[in-house]
Structure 1
Amino acid sequence: MAGTLLAPPSGTPLQRLVQMAMERGYTAQGEMFSVADMGRLAQEALGCQAELLCGGLGSPNRDRVLQHLVAGHPLLIPYDEDFNHEPCQRKGHKAHWAVSTGVLLGVQGVPSPGYAEDPELSGLFHPMPGMPCQPPSLPEEDLPGAVYLLCKQGKSWHCQLWDYDQVRDSNMQLTDFSPSRAADGREYVVPAGGVRAGLCGQALLLRPRDPSH
């Protein structure tokens, strides 16, 4: 899903991604419990830049994450998936990946020139294509409900808006391998240090290699 944004319109077939990951020892069943391995796969398969983010989505990384999304680049986030695909906290037992492709910011005033109000939703403003505009001011970190990520999980048909703090908290508690997976008799590739070392508090910032893209 991120590949279609980084190298449109072709993207890279899922089957090819899984094949490459298996050949390089990153996965056995299609699972991916290492953000570092996912970054290496993204760079090779998508020809993009992949920056490994450690220390969680909160401070001091929060502004970098939001500015990355405002610039139009995708973010890959491991998190615990609830029954409705939204973030939850299950200690990593429901660990999955989501791609975030945008952000909704709650701001105090009408944005500067370069933004247009949505024709159907008053109070919602979009950057105007091709128009220079000042990046919006980022809401304070402790302001609840002010930042939402536009995210999609592979098993869902729809994009969803997730509260930033819920995504941050879910990402920070990925510590344990699922007992049901451990008992299912199948092989999985789990990095040294387990789920905590491979996923907890980590994400991937993806950018095109061509800076003019």
Structure 2
Amino acid sequence: MSHPTDTIDTKDGYFVQGPNAIQRTEVRGPEETAPGKRNSFRRSRIPSDQCISRLQSSSTRASHVEASRELCDNPHFVVAGFNSGDVHQGALGNCWFVAATGNLAQEKELWERVIPNAKEQDWDDDDKSSYAGIFHFRFWRFGEWLDVVVDDRLPTVNNKLTYTHSQEGNEFWSALLEKAYAKLAGCYENLDGGNTADALVDFTGGVAEGSTYRTRRIIS
């Protein structure tokens, strides 16, 4: 696994860089962005073009990175609530993440902890100038909740999302959650193969335990 190339902002002013280093840095939220520039938030070092190009298979590699608001006419963070049907696997081999995300979507309290203030993060149809292009997620790491911030650019092929996506073409919470989790892992490449139990721990702060089911003959 390669080392993360970006910083992970937290509310306490810490970031994670590399597998073990924890240092202090300044954190700027969307409210600190200069007037008139709120819609231009960009994180230049998030796992996007560079990490996508490292995926070895052309079938899993995105060709472009596009802002989610440019992929459809009426984009929304969440459409008509959230459920496990909002999460569909794309070209990346991360069914383990998709399964954990589907479970997360069935638990309202846990979902809202990982995705805080979802309504405030959505596109405002009545005030498009308020859109900052910044999304906030939380994951459990190193014994504490880390706040991860990403912009709205997502991997695409032919104007379609390449990786995790919703059944609704204008809903983006699951794709943006995957991007934030890829940032936590270092890049999308590091999500290509994993363990559902690990993702559940990162989503809940709890302890995951596996069970093995053995096939038994049923005598009728």
TM interval, shorter chain, is under 0.3
TM-score scaled to structure 1, two decimals?
Answer: 0.27
User: Structure 1 or 2: larger strand share?
Assistant: 1
User: Structure 1 or 2: larger helix share?
Assistant: 2
TM-score scaled to structure 2, two decimals?
Answer: 0.27
